[in-house]
């Protein structure tokens, strides 16, 4: 049996790093891609092949895919994990920052899919795993651009799933809830930089306090790594999987509550 070839973006830390480790230990041929390759020495020791890749740089993505094809002749699984959270009131966030958020979380992801699909179609098989968030199904105050990016990936994944089904390719969405990672610190720093001391500063403080409470209870990234392994080894995978702190509860509440009821729930949690 031929070992499957996997490309994981955002592999320098958090869920991407944990997933790269788990898949390498499970005998996959793993290519871990990230901007900060100096943080990936442990992965290299485990046999993960390191790629320097910036998902906002088309040339680096093309070079990364070309290197995998040159070395392995195929790409079986793409795990689009790279992303970040830029928080701040819609009124305050500079449009350049909003565009960068979409470039990383949406357009970089979509471009990498474009680059791997010709090889997957030729193979007649493949799996594309897009990491979204429970924040791709519900929104919090001051997170508009982050949520917009994750809502977009949910929709892109739904369209893509139907487009590539005739070619034997699966599209799988992973929706993490609270997971320990750098994401929280980066998102809250952006929130402070953008909205502190302005009209929305009180809301920003409440959001920040809530985020750090969630962080203290969040799941380890290995929880999501195991979920991804389950999804890619299932013969007929589900379209969506969720895991992490509060993921199941908040998705259920979003489903059964009206918009105004859910708004009230979110605002009450801030207080």
Give the Cα separation of 116 and 114 in Å (integer): 6
The answer to whether the beta carbons of residues 8 and 30 sit under 8 Å apart is yes
The answer to whether the beta carbons of residues 223 and 246 sit under 8 Å apart is no
Helix, coil or strand: residue 37: helix
Angstrom distances, CA of residue 49 to CA of 41, 56, 89: 10, 21, 40
Interior angle at CA 29, CA 112 and CA 165, nearest 5: 50
Active-site residue identified among 28, 31, 146, 241: 146
Q: Is residue 241 annotated as part of the catalytic site, yes or no?
A: no
DSSP 65: H
Is the torsion defined by CA of 215, 205, 196, 251 positive or negative? positive
Interior angle at CA 75, CA 74 and CA 77, nearest 5: 155
Backbone angles phi, psi at 155, to 5 degrees: -70, -45
Closest CA to 167 of 117, 130, 203, 132: 117
**Active site amino acids:** 146
């Amino acid at each position: 049996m031929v070992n499957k070839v996997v490309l994981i973006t955002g592999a320098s830390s958090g869920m991407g790093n944990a997933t790269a480790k788990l898949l390498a230990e499970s005998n996959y041929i793993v290519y871990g891609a990230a901007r900060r390759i100096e943080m990936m020495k442990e992965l290299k020791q485990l046999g993960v092949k390191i790629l320097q890749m910036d998902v906002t740089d088309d040339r680096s993505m093309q070079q990364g895919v070309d290197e995998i094809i040159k070395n392995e002749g195929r790409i079986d699984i793409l795990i689009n994990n790279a992303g970040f959270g830029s928080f701040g009131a819609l009124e305050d966030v500079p449009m350049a920052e909003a565009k960068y958020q979409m470039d990383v979380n949406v357009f970089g992801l979509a471009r990498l899919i474009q680059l791997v699909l010709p090889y997957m179609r030729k193979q007649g098989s493949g799996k594309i795993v897009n990491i979204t968030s429970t924040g791709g199904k519900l929104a919090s105050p001051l997170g508009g651009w982050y949520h917009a990016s994750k809502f977009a990936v949910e929709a892109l994944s739904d369209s893509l799933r139907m487009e590539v089904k005739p070619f034997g390719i699966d599209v799988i969405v992973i929706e993490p809830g609270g997971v320990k990672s750098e994401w929280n610190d980066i998102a809250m720093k952006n929130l402070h930089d953008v909205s502190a001391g302005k009209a929305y500063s009180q809301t920003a403080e409440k959001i920040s306090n809530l985020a750090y409470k969630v962080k203290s209870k969040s799941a380890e990234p290995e929880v999501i790594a195991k979920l991804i392994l389950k999804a890619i080894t299932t013969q007929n995978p589900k379209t969506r999987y969720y895991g992490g702190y509060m993921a199941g509860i908040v998705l259920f509440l979003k489903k059964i509550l009206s918009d105004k009821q859910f708004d009230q729930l979110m605002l009450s949690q801030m207080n």
